[in-house]
Amino acid sequence: MGADMKIVALRALTIALVLSPCTIHAQAWMPPAESSRCPSKWGAGDERGSLNLQTPASVAEAAKAIKTGEIIELGYILRSSIPMVGTRRFDIHTKRTFMNKEPNQRGSNEEVITTELGQVGTQLDGFAHQTHGDSFYNCIKVEDVATRSGFTKLGVEKVGTVMARGVLIDVAGLKGVDTLPDTYEITVDDLQQALLRQKTTLRSGDAVIINTGWGRLWEKDNARFNKGNPGIGIAAAEWLIKQNPILLGADCATVEVQPNPDPKLSLPIHQLALVVNGVHLLENLKLDELASKQAYEFAFVVQPLKIQGGSGSTVAPVAIR
């Protein structure tokens, strides 16, 4: 082979290697710089994020989804046998306090509960739960608000009652399976196809709830439930957030796929939703009844416990239709 031919061949090989999928590595997602995400669209110092979408008019509109008055509970019972991450725990100890001496013999019982109350069971993640470095939502700094007795800003007590139009996106139903595969990444196309199948559209201010079927493992296979789970990927999360939801929820532990397909990332949707865009996440929802009844639209109601300065709260949400 002549010198010119060798040069041509070398150039062709170089081009092939550059264009080969196995040599192209997409840059890992990173939270945007503070200069581009702060102040938030709700203004400097805002602590409510997408909850600002709730107005008296939006609540009244959500109530229109109630046709029969049927209530479907979306929260799990709290007890020691539920799946919990790491060292989280839920222990209840009953106390027989006393028997009153009066003739009516009034007895009294109480309980002591030891738990990470903001992060067990069906739970809502508050903005104080996640950071990018030392920066919360709206670039509030951890060192400025963290105390031994709670965070002085972004505490879950700021959430209050949420009532919105709820929309169930049944991705497991779309795929014709009881449960999506372990660590399945839900795509934008999955969400759009599920909505099309259901003849459902998203509106600004919706509580968007995703059914993966992972809840079928709750208290049946806790080890598998905790090991990882299907959920939305980065592109799907970005698309959903562009629809202006009041919150995002799912029947798995993280709402997002875990572990992330990119091994260099740790729960990026938690940052994308909570830190960057101010959208609360609702985890470990009980969605079996909602999905089996194909209840795709409903009035959604939830109120976190008013834990002063808390990072989140166990909750007992309901769908009313």
Which domains does the chain carry?
40-86+116-320 (3.50.30.50)
The C-alpha atoms of residue 213 and residue 155 are separated, in whole angstroms, by 31
In three-state secondary structure terms, 310 is coil
68 contact partners, CB below 8 Å, separation of at least 6: 321
Q: Are 271 and 132 in contact (CB under 8 A)?
A: yes
Rounded to the nearest angstrom, the gap between the alpha carbon of residue 19 and the centroid of all alpha carbons in its chain is: 37
Name the residue among 123, 64, 76 with its Cα closest to residue 297. 64
3-state secondary structure 96-150: EEEECCCCCCCEEEEEEEEECCCCCCCEEECHHHCCECCECHHHCEHHHHEECCE
Per-residue confidence (pLDDT) for residue 4, from 0 to 100: 53
Q: Are 274 and 127 in contact (CB under 8 A)?
A: yes
In three-state secondary structure terms, 175 is helix
Per-residue confidence (pLDDT) for residue 309, from 0 to 100: 97
The C-alpha atoms of residue 240 and residue 260 are separated, in whole angstroms, by 18
289 contact partners, CB below 8 Å, separation of at least 6: 72, 73
254 contact partners, CB below 8 Å, separation of at least 6: 229, 231, 267, 269, 270, 281, 283
Name the residue among 168, 165, 136 with its Cα closest to residue 152. 136
The C-alpha atoms of residue 173 and residue 293 are separated, in whole angstroms, by 12
pLDDT in tens, the chain (321 residues): 555 544 444 454 443 433 333 333 345 899 999 999 999 999 999 999 999 999 999 999 999 999 999 999 999 999 999 999 999 999 999 998 889 999 999 999 999 999 999 999 999 999 999 999 999 999 999 999 999 999 999 999 999 999 999 999 999 999 999 999 999 999 999 999 999 999 999 999 999 999 999 999 999 999 999 999 999 999 999 999 999 999 999 999 999 999 999 999 999 999 999 999 999 999 999 999 999 999 999 999 999 999 999 999 999 999 999
114, two tokens? 């030891």
- pTM for this structure? 0.89
Alpha helices in the chain (DSSP H): 3-19, 34-37, 56-63, 142-145, 171-175, 188-198, 222-227, 234-242, 268-270, 288-292
274 contact partners, CB below 8 Å, separation of at least 6: 125, 126, 127, 129, 130, 137, 280, 281
- Other C-beta atoms closer than 10 Å to the C-beta of 151 total 22
Distances in Å between the Cα of 170 and the Cα atoms of 167, 177, 181, 213, 296 are 9, 10, 14, 9, 8
